[in-house]
Each structure stands twice: as C-alpha cells, then as structure tokens.
Amino acid sequence: MAAELSGKVVIVTGGARGLGAATAEAVVAGGGRVLITDVLEKEGADTAASLGDEARFLRHDVTSEADWRAAFDHAVAAFGRVDGLVNNAGVATGELLENESVDHFRQVIEVNLVGVFIGLRTAIPVLRELGGGSIVNISSAAGLTGLPLTAGYGASKWGVRGLTKIGAVELAEAGIRVNSVHPGMTYTPMTAGLGIQPGEGGYPGTPMGRVGVPEEIASAVAFLLSDAAAYMTGAELAVDGGWTAGPTVRALTAR
C-alpha cells in the first residue's frame, strides 16, 4: 500500500536509478509529484518519462550550491511548491582505513555528506516559508555500526546521521521534520557488481537471509515524507533485514 502523498511535491536526488528511482515511483504512486535530480542524464530523463506528467528531471551535482538553488527553483516553477526533500545521491566505495587516500576520502565526504548539508541549507528557507515539510536523508547501515572496508563511505554516513539529528532539533519549531533511513545491503545497480543476488538465501549474513530491494527502502522513505509520520523527527530508521540488530541465529548455532 502506497504512502499517502497527495498534493505533495518532493525532490529526490540521485533519482535516476536504484533506490532513488524507486523512491520517485513511490512518491507518484502516493499521489505526489517529483523532481528527479542526478548527474546521470539519460537514465534520469528516462525514469522521469516513465512516471508521466507527475515527474520532471534536472541534471544536478549535489556538491554545487548553484545546482541546488536551480533544483528548488525548477521544482517550484514546474509544480508550484516543494514539500519534501530526499537526500539520496551518494557514492558507495570500499577501502581499508590504512589504504584510503586523503583525496579519495575527501571526494566521498564531499558527495555523501557536504552534498546533504548543502541540500538541507537550501531547503530550509523554502520549507520554512511553506510552514513546514519533511526531509529524509539516506544514510546506511554503515552509519549505525563500524563496518570494515568503508573508511570514507562509513564516515560520511555516520556524518549524515549526526547532521539529521542536528537538523531535527533546530528545525522542529519551524515544522520541518528531518529523519534518516539506514538501508542494509540492497540490490541496486550500484551493488550488483558485488555479486549479491536477490531472493531468499541470497545474503545469509543477515537475520532475514536476503538482501533488500529498492522498493522496500522506498516504502520507508515515503512513509517519512507523509503526514502519517507527523510526530517523527530525528529518527533513524534501519531497513536492513535485521543486520544491525545482531548476529544471526545461524551464526550463533554453527558447529
């Protein structure tokens, strides 16, 4: 069942494919309208076209303040308002801490954390003028625990989690809710190269024994965008098949 988003206008960054595309689809399915932004122009335009008149696409580099201003201006021009923002754009790379270069670490932080910061700062006056709204920041299960091989990525996702808390506290009086979603391993174009497969038994390291699919994460995001989550701000919602809850029974009983 789609979350009720009738009349709401949402900007979804990194919306060309994977989780972002599924989130854009969930917004439209709930009766809302969506501006999809991404640096992947063809994929983004195709995704928007597949959703019909309720969707638009704009090329958008989340590290650029000018691009962020253009995104909000474009959404207002196309749909008349902005009610929500999903900070989904990011890069997923893995490296041991001792092997991570300073330049690469900075690049990951720039996209995954500074991009979210600029998005928040750009959204605040727009949502404040409207009387409130909802911002959902996509962190990761790697932002809830220490995950090896994620020096830059994990640090950025912990940063997104913290920035979410700060935004929630500072903006509550303005009626702006800020929450984070923490996906576990999810089958997307970004993770397909890791060799994971969807379906039961495909990921035995997590209690549910499988990876997630984008639609499952998108449903949680859509809920947080909706008025059904009106009393939720500063929350961190793990959608990870139980991975951050603890070790699996299979692991504990293995002989």
Q: What percent of the chain clears pLDDT 90, i.e. is strictly above it?
A: 80
| DSSP label at residue 212 | B
3-state secondary structure of 50: helix
3-state secondary structure of 239: strand
β-sheet bridge partners, residue 182: 238
Q: State how far the Cα of 242 lies from the Cα of 209, in Å rounded to an integer.
A: 9
Rounded to the nearest 5 degrees, what angle is found at the Cα of 61, between the Cα atoms of 238 and 121? 65
Task: Delimit the domains of the chain by residue range.
Answer: 9-253
Mean pLDDT (whole number) for 117-126: 98
Element (H, E) at 220: helix 214-225
- Structural tokens at position 108: 């990951």
- Structural tokens at position 207: 């209690």
Among 5-14, 87-96, 137-146, 161-170, the minimum mean pLDDT is found in 87-96
Phi, psi of 50 (to 5 degrees): -70, -20
CATH class entry, domain 9-253: alpha beta
Q: 231 catalytic, yes or no? A: no
Cβ atoms of residues 201 and 210 within 8 Å: yes
Instruction: Quote the mean pLDDT of the chain.
Output: 93
Among positive and negative, which fits the CA dihedral 241, 245, 249, 255? positive
Q: What is the pLDDT of residue 186?
A: 86
Burial of 84 (0-12, 13-18, 19+ CB in 10 A): buried
Q: How many CB atoms lie within 10 A of CB 151?
A: 21
CA of 17: how far to CAs of 12, 187, 190, in Å? 11, 12, 9
Residue 254 has pLDDT above 60, yes or no: no
pTM: 0.94
Residue 255 has pLDDT above 70, yes or no: no
Q: What is the pLDDT of residue 199?
A: 65
- Banded model confidence at residue 206, pLDDT cuts 50, 70, 90: confident
Phi, psi of 114 (to 5 degrees): -65, -40
- Banded model confidence at residue 248, pLDDT cuts 50, 70, 90: confident
Cβ atoms of residues 30 and 2 within 8 Å: yes
